[in-house]
Each structure stands twice: as C-alpha cells, then as structure tokens.
Amino acid sequence: MRLCEHDKCTGCGLCKAVCPRAAISFEVDSLGFRYPKIDIRECIDCGLCAKKCPSINPVKRELGNECYLAWAKDDDIHYESSSGGVAYLLQHHIIDLGGYVVGCVWDSEFNARLVVIDNANDLAKSVGSKYVQSYVDDGAWKEIKKRDSKGQQGVFIGLPCQVAAAKSFLNGSSNVLFVDLLCRGGCSPSCLKAHLSYLEEKNKFHNVRDVKFRGGKYDCSLTLWNERGLIYKGGQYTDKYFYSFMKHGLFHESCYHCQYANSKRVSDITLADFWGIDSEFVKSKHKMNGMNLVLIHSGKGRTFWDTIKDKIEFYKRPFEEAIRGNDTLREPTLSPCDREMLLSLIENVGFERAVSSDEQYKRNIRAQRVGYVIKAIKKIIPRPLLEFIKRHI
C-alpha cells in the first residue's frame, strides 16, 4: 500500500488514525516534520489509509458567500486574541452548550498539538497563534470519533489540511462546525525547539511555561513567560525564529504547493487577520487591535454565526477585498530562492548561526540598534530642544 507522495503529505495523522492494524507510525525528519511509515508486516492492504487521505482524495471545497470584518465586543477578549477574538467566542459558545472544542495548545515540550477541550477554563490555552507546524494529537482522533458517534456537538478549529482530514475522518459530520484558519505555512518544530533551548541557556531562563507570538501588549513578538511573568521579548524581524517564520524559509514542503491556498475553502467558516481592509474604514472605527476576517461557506456556518453575532461588532465587506489582502486566498506561499542554502546551513552549523548569517537579518539588527540609540537620545534631550531640531533639520 502506498500513501501520498512525500511532498504532498501534510502530516495530518489521519492515515494512522484510521488504520485497523496500527500498521502506520510516524518518522520525524531533521526539521521536526512528521511523515508516515507503513509496517508491511502488519499491513493487510485494506486501502483505508489512501481512501481517507485528503491529499489523495481531496475534500470538497466551497466558495464563501459572506465576508465580514469582525471583532469581539468584549475588549479583554479582543485584546488578548491574535486577531478579533471570534474563534474564542465560537469555542466558548459550543462548550456552554455542553459540546467540545478541538483546538491547538502547547504540550510540556512546546509541541503544538490539537486536543479535545470541554472545559471553558481550559480555552485560554488555545488562545493565540502558534507559529509552528501543529499536529492532531493521537488520542484526539479517537476522542473526536467517540463524541461524534454520540451526537455531541463540537467545533474543530485548525489549519485547512487538518480540517480536511477531520471532515474525511467524520464523513463531514453535521455535529461538528469545521473552522479553518487561513495559513501561510507550518514552520519547523525542530528550529523552534533549538531556538528556545538557545534562549534558555544564553539568558539562564528557568521554568518557561508559555510561548506567545500574538495578542495582548506584546502582539507580533515572540515572548516567553514563566510563573513570574514576561522573561523574553523578540520582535518579528529581530528574533531569529520569528524572522524565519516571516521569511517563509522553514515551512513544511507541502505548504509551498498547498491545495487549500485559494478562495474555495474546506470549512464551514474561515478565520484570519483581515489584511487589505480599507484603511480609512478602519480609522473610522477607531480600532487599534487586530480584526478578524470571517468567511462563511455553509448553512451550518451561518447558523453558528447567528448564535454569537450579538457578541461581535461586524461589518459586511466585499469578498474581493479579503482576497486582495490575503495571499493564501489566491495561491500558496512561495518558497524563498535561498531556502536550500538555509537548510544546508542549519544542517552544518545549527539554526542560530545559520540565521545570524542572513544579510537581511543583519540589517534588521542594525536598524534595531539605531532605534535604541535614538530612543535613548530622546530621553536625554529636553522636548523643546527636540522640537527645535525637527523644525530646523
């Protein structure tokens, strides 16, 4: 039995979940990405893995018929969320109804895992983007199936490839709201772990409990936290890992020709940042925090939206506006021309030294240092003198 081609495999884990003989395991490559391996001694050639694989048998996709700019009316939810807080409201609503959520959380080793959550107090763990390749936890597949067989309502929130896998697994269950997150690509788990280890050793950090990329006071920064609070903050263009994510050089191979990177979606609802929104419209609403793009693709999605929209401030927008501002509604992320060189450097000298040699990264660091100097000077020079200098230079 053959699985999908190596460069098309997303590592969703569905083949392993459906195998009746437990004949499929996963191997991890040097970047931390998972790929399935079949034990031919156990395989009975039933073909179920290939039949369910969404890379071999694509799941039906729909073009959204409703497009909204949206954010939570609750300022705390809005502030702490990566974008507008709509995902959190969907999750909280389904748990209030006695349902469950499949969402992404960190495990104890900072692997990003999709797990089953049925307690509102645990939802905070799934808030905020995890800019690294995530995986559906092995136990989660079984738990999802068990709950769905009992007719329990759920919300599955994941990357498009993960949503496609979940829909195939559950045969498009009417009990589950499928929500996909617009995605640039899944970044290397090994490089994230190497970077965290480097920061811990360099700065003598102990007991790092959380890693954040988005939301709150330090939005769009890589921040590390322990029981005392913030212990590290690196900007998206000056922290080596965040810079690598923004440069798109360490994504999963399948991300560069992703079948889901277009305007037809696999979900009931698509959520994202609303890049490309008219700036004058934004100014008129006086919103400084993130804003969700919400695309609704199905009647099920519309029904769920109607149940939470009283908690959301939202405005209907042209679908073309969303496509214009979000690249992966048009095409997959492009692989950088120097990707192979970067991978070779990482293999030979390690992640930190490889990124440190990047010329654009060096320029970003120099600009940061100049900014620090200017900021220090501004603190020293009296404000009237600064205003005088601005007027005469």
Give the count of beta carbons closer than 10 Å to the beta carbon of residue 133: 25
pLDDT score of 96: 95
Has residue 1 got a pLDDT over 70?
no
Q: What is the 3-state secondary structure (H, E, C) of 78-111?
A: HHHCCCCCHHHHHHHHHHHCCCEEEEEEECCCCC
% pLDDT > 70, the chain: 97
Task: Give the model confidence (pLDDT) of 44-74 as tens digits.
Answer: 999 999 999 999 999 999 888 899 999 999 9
392: confidence class by pLDDT, cuts 50, 70, 90: low
Could you give the CA distance from residue 88 to residue 126 in angstroms, rounded to a whole number?
Answer: 8
pLDDT score of 215: 87
3: confidence class by pLDDT, cuts 50, 70, 90: confident
According to DSSP, residue 355 is labeled: H
Has residue 9 got a pLDDT over 70?
yes
Has residue 386 got a pLDDT over 70?
no
According to DSSP, residue 187 is labeled: B
Q: Retrieve residue 36's tokens.
A: 């399935």
Average pLDDT over residues 165-179: 95
Task: Give the model confidence (pLDDT) of 232-285 as tens digits.
Answer: 999 999 999 999 999 999 999 999 999 999 999 999 999 999 998 877 777 777
Has residue 77 got a pLDDT over 70?
yes
286: confidence class by pLDDT, cuts 50, 70, 90: low
Instruction: Enumerate residues 6+ apart whose C-beta is below 8 A from 124.
Output: none
Average pLDDT over residues 116-132: 94
pLDDT score of 230: 96
The phi, psi pair for 362, rounded to 5°, reads -60, -40
Length of the chain: 393
pLDDT score of 356: 96
Mean per-residue pLDDT of the chain: 92
Instruction: Enumerate residues 6+ apart whose C-beta is below 8 A from 186.
Output: 33, 132, 133, 134, 159, 251, 252, 255
Phi-psi region of 16 (alpha: psi -120 to 50; beta: other; left: phi over 0): alpha
382: confidence class by pLDDT, cuts 50, 70, 90: confident
pLDDT score of 73: 92
Has residue 194 got a pLDDT over 80?
yes
pLDDT score of 113: 97
